[in-house]
Structure 1
Amino acid sequence: MAGLLFIVFMILVALAGPFIRPDHTTNANDQQVQISRQKPVLRITQLRIFKGETTPPGAWEKWISYGWDNDYTWKAVVPVETTAKGIAYHEFDSPISSLQSPVKFIPFADCAPHGTDWSDQEKLDWLHTYTLVEKTYWLGTDRYGRDLLSRLMAGSAISLSVGFIAVLISLFVGMTFGVLAGFYGGWVDKFIMWIINVMWSIPTLLLVLAIVFAFGKGFDKVFIAVGLTMWVEVARVVRGQVLSVRELQFVEAGRALGFSDARIMFVHILPNVLAPVIVISAANFASAILIEAGLSFLGIGAQIPIPSWGNMIKEHYALITTDLAYLSILPGVMIMLLVLSFMLVGNGLRDALDVQTR
């Protein structure tokens, strides 16, 4: 139950995406190098600097792009004085050394280009309310000054989407070959089983690497690579189930009624062999998440700046022996929890669908 609840929670986080995470930019990639590798629960004042008019995207465009860019930039500062003419500030370097940096000034026109005709009090209200903003980085920032919490939340969509599409590919290929082998038998069964055994003999990661090198690097290539390496187990299970089901009376009745082989296989037989396939799919989902993280860690999966958990580990694994180890540990913990949740759900489905255990 706990595993299912965690999966549902992560799905909601992935679907809500940019609408709920602190950094709503595409790929949660708002970089501020001056606050790189800051510790968790960092509270700083951010200066909002207008950079030009942009057309705001619609809600669907925001969701499908998994974020949207701002018409302003953020700068971490320590305010010195705020007047109607603008803001004097120190650039943030660290909580201690920031006050030692030279005082800089930003005019009001760079903060609110449409407010040139406002009164002094209206300008001050704008600067205090919309220009100087207190922001909290609950999990700190990474090496590029990006919000780590937002990156972790965005990474959930990467892992879940790879797992979902890869499992769909493996189910489509595996069930098709499995049904054909089990239903027809003979040379069809022998040929398909030969293909399955050849694929089974190749190490999964090695096969994935070969597919990635053949199709090229990229996030979209990971779907194909992972999906085409996990269908063999599905095919073997479906074949075994079809071999036992094809001799039952309802199959003979379908033949007697003149139903086509395709209808008998995919309409009458296949729905009766789905129970073990569902269990395998849960395990394959977990495997797909691990493979995607491994490929991204090796640099041949999701490419920077896509916030894959594997990429995040790669960027910070050299800090594992320092007080910044959490930058690589937290993505690893997320991978572990999500994989464990799918394995627990798979075990629960196995117990629920196995007639012998009931």
Structure 2
Amino acid sequence: MAAAPALPDALPAAPDTAVVVPPPVRTPGYYVRQRLWANRPAVAGLVFIGLCALVALLGYWILPDPSPNANNGFVQLQKQPPGFTARFIRRTSTDSLRAINSPIAVWWRGKIGVLEVPVAEAQSNSLVIVPLVVTGDPALGPVHLEQKSNTTKQHLIVSSVQKRTYWLGTDKAGRDELSRLLLGTRISLGIGLVAVLISLIIGVAVGAVAGYFGGWVDSLLLGLMTVVWSIPGIMLVIGISLALDSKGVWVSFVAVGLTMWVDVARVVRGQVLGLRSATFIEAGRVLGLPTSRLIFVHLLPNLRGPLIVLATSNFAAAILLEAGLSFLGLGVQPPAPSWGLMVKEGYDLLGTEAGLWLTLLPGLAISLLVLSFNVLGNGLRDAFDPKTQLT
């Protein structure tokens, strides 16, 4: 019987095989973010909007003039150029009522109860320094003053004498232009946010109902959209203000929002008309899902991209509409620091040396904020487009 062949001492090594690692599973939102971050103008616009939002949130805490509405003005300092420096005496009257300046109150309405007087005004009012401090430098300690009058004698306690620089100058009322410009971001962003929320709530509801049900419901709601669309936005705001018998800040917010829902409704209606016959909607109907769930849970999430893009464009449009209304005197009323109202105040001074920067500065702020929302909207539109290639 033949012997069995001897086994080799070692088996030959298996050939090297490349291990194929599957790519990581990415959500659609990941690619949207990647396409957005690759768009530099959109990122720059987002950063500027974020800075404006931070300024609006901080509010009076970062303003050189933390008085309510940054409305602390001095006739002696009116229409001063940018970079102007003045010396002030901060004083508190012992005869006046003192308001409690809690952190929340200061954030909401500004700091009250503290009086400031330019040094020149203190001299003109015959404020006599009582020789209780012999250093000769009021900045080194408290100074006691007596304001002489024909009828009364008011005792004032001065906490400090300080120097303030008006980096952007003063307006016709002697108010700090920088403080009012920074505080104006609250009104511009606030009116844009309120207008977008109102337009989304009304527009999504009307557009979804019209597109899903169709028939006479669609015809009725489409006719309503057409009528509202044909009325100029300014006329609608005037009518709403007259109906509410007010021209305050919140009335302007609501009025602007009620004029912008038609754009959202038309876009939502068109998208829902194309999706209501989709397979997943038909499957939901077969399963007996309620209509409200089909619309708000299954249809509207597919409209997230177009709604975000439309919201950014409506944000910019609301800021421009509010600025135009305030310029005409139909929007935010003084002394609230609206950018449109500030442009109007500067426009009234055109021909003078101060008119140029008092018109240019708030106009530039409006342009930069609107431009930021527009480039961000363009970037979001490209980011939500799956055909866009990453570079």
**TM superposition score normalised by structure 2:** 0.79
Contact 1:218 1:300 in 2 (8 A): no
SS for the counterpart of 1:355 is coil
1:217 aligns with 2:247: yes
- Residues 32-79 of structure 1 show CA distances to partners (whole Å, capped at 9, x for unaligned) of 1111111111111111222245243221222233x121x331111159
- Between the aligned residues of both structures, percent identity stands at 47
SS for the counterpart of 2:247 is coil
CA distance in 2, matches of 1:231, 1:72: 44
CA distance in 1, matches of 2:169, 2:128: 27
Name the counterpart of 1:316.
346
Name the counterpart of 1:95.
none
1:26 aligns with 2:48: no
Residues 219-234 of structure 1 correspond to what in structure 2 (within 5 A)? 219-234=249-264
CA distance in 1, matches of 2:232, 2:312: 20
CA distance in 1, matches of 2:171, 2:263: 39
SS for the counterpart of 1:162 is helix
The match for 1:207 among 214, 236, 243 is 236
**Segments ≥4 residues shifted beyond 6 Å:** none
CA distance in 1, matches of 2:53, 2:115: 30
Listed as ranges, the gaps of 5+ residues in structure 2 are 1-42, 144-157
Deviation of residue 321 (structure 1)? 2.8
Contact 1:282 1:345 in 2 (8 A): yes
The match for 1:294 among 312, 320, 324 is 324
Give, as a single letter, the amino acid of the residue that structure 2 aligns with 1:205. Answer: I
Decide which structure has the larger Cα Rg and report it: 2
Give, as a single letter, the amino acid of the residue that structure 1 aligns with 2:334. Answer: I
Listed as ranges, the gaps of 5+ residues in structure 1 are 80-88, 92-102, 110-117
1:347 aligns with 2:362: no
Deviation of residue 127 (structure 1)? 4.1
1:68 aligns with 2:98: no
- Residues 117-157 of structure 1 show CA distances to partners (whole Å, capped at 9, x for unaligned) of x8756995324894211111111111111100000001010
Structure with greater proportional helix content: 1
Residues 103-252 of structure 1 correspond to what in structure 2 (within 5 A)? 104-107=126-129, 125-127=140-142, 130-215=159-244, 216-252=246-282
The match for 2:364 among 333, 336, 345 is 333
CA distance in 2, matches of 1:25, 1:265: 49
Give, as a single letter, the amino acid of the residue that structure 2 aligns with 1:126. Answer: G
Aligned length: 328
SS for the counterpart of 2:352 is coil
Deviation of residue 320 (structure 1)? 2.3
Give, as a single letter, the amino acid of the residue that structure 2 aligns with 1:160. Answer: L
CA distance in 2, matches of 1:204, 1:55: 41
SS for the counterpart of 1:131 is strand
Name the counterpart of 1:278.
308
